Amino acid sequence: MSEEENKKNKIHGLILFKEHDLKIKEEEKERITFEDVDQENKIKLHYDLNPFAANYKYSLNILNESIAPITEIKARVKFPHNLELIRYSPNNINLELIDSKKKDSKQANFEIDQLSGNNNTQINFHFRILKANDGAEISTYISFVNNKDFVRVLNADPINVPMQRVSIAPKIIPSGQITPFLKVEGIKKAVKSIGVGTEKDFNLDLFFNHINQILRSYEFQLIARDESKRISWFFGTEIKVNEDILIIGQVNQNKVEFLAASKNHEAIIILLTQLANEFKKHIISIGDIVNSEDNFYDLECKNCGNILPRFPKKGETIECPKCNKEQLVW
């Protein structure tokens, strides 16, 4: 080896050594910096509950406003048996559902390995009300390990889910006012779509007649009815909040549907729950079609919540037109 090549090798080795040494120092500096970061009051938990279609969406937002990461994030979301967790997003989190019958509550647990500095993560839970009552609470507990290897805890105050039954007074409007009412600013709309899981032959007019009986029993005023299309329009005012409600009952594509519109979103969520439960009782009482509530299927997309276009046959998959997710209903 020439003297010049030997010098080059020594210089190259020296450069590599200095680069390696510099990298170690940078890692040590980064580690020291993270350990010195004050995370007190900079890790926050925001939560919110809002009506979403015919259900409620409970959102958790974990914020890390420091420059250092937090790790081993563990969350417990506690909710009553009167609520059903129908989906959550992002759906790739590893969620464990625990049913504690002794405590009359359920619990959804999930873990997140790490949340980097100046970052946040949001998890959305969609709950369906199973029946109307005096109300229920959702609460959340979160623990994490901070940059000094201490376990810290954040609690979300219990938040109430409105569930009180609605009371209706009939109200007459001209049929020509139905479309303008749906276009009024602030009007909220929701749909409860039900499939009746039976392979027996039955007349869809039977379902339509029961829809009309139920809506009349709730004191709604019949505005219009189309027998050939199996659709009826009813109108009334919710007494407690003094808000008008339009209800449409129909049988369409083998689906039984109640469509509600009002400025009070909470009222129509409870109302749709009541109407769906009442319809199930009516059909079970007949005895020849189905004999259990397990034979009824809510026709919401399991992925996005969109109403499915029809009630498929048993064992048949159907694709959601909104998110293109293919799914099996029953």
The Cα 270–Cα 82 span in angstroms is 12
Kindly report the number of other CB atoms within 10 A of residue 3's CB atom: 7
Rounded to 5 degrees, φ, ψ at 220 are -75, 150
Using alpha carbons only, give the angle 300, 208, 186 rounded to the nearest 5 degrees: 55
Are 129 and 269 a contacting pair, CB within 8 Å?
A: yes
Average pLDDT rounded to a whole number, residues 285-311: 96
Fold: same for 43-161 and 168-298:
no
Domain assignments of the chain as residue spans, ordered by start:
43-161, 168-298
Question: Does the domain made of 43-161 have the CATH classification 3.30.1240.10?
Answer: no
Position 8 pLDDT exceeds 50: no
Looking at residue 27, its pLDDT comes to 52
pLDDT in tens, 49-89: 999 999 999 999 999 999 999 999 999 999 999 999 999 99
- Type of residue numbered 205: D
Position 280 pLDDT exceeds 80: yes
Six-digit token pair at 263?
């400025």
Position 33 pLDDT exceeds 90: no
The answer for residues whose C-beta is within 8 angstroms of residue 19's C-beta and 6 or more apart is none
Looking at residue 270, its pLDDT comes to 97
Of 32, 93, 113, the closest CA to residue 67 belongs to: 32
Question: Does the domain made of 168-298 have the CATH classification 2.40.110.10?
Answer: no
Q: Mind giving me the DSSP string for 243-289?
A: EEEEEEEEEETTEEEEEEEES-HHHHHHHHHHHHHHHHHHHHHH-SS
* pLDDT tier at 13, thresholds 50, 70, 90: very low
Position 298 pLDDT exceeds 90: yes
- Type of residue numbered 285: S
Q: What is the mean pLDDT of the chain?
A: 91
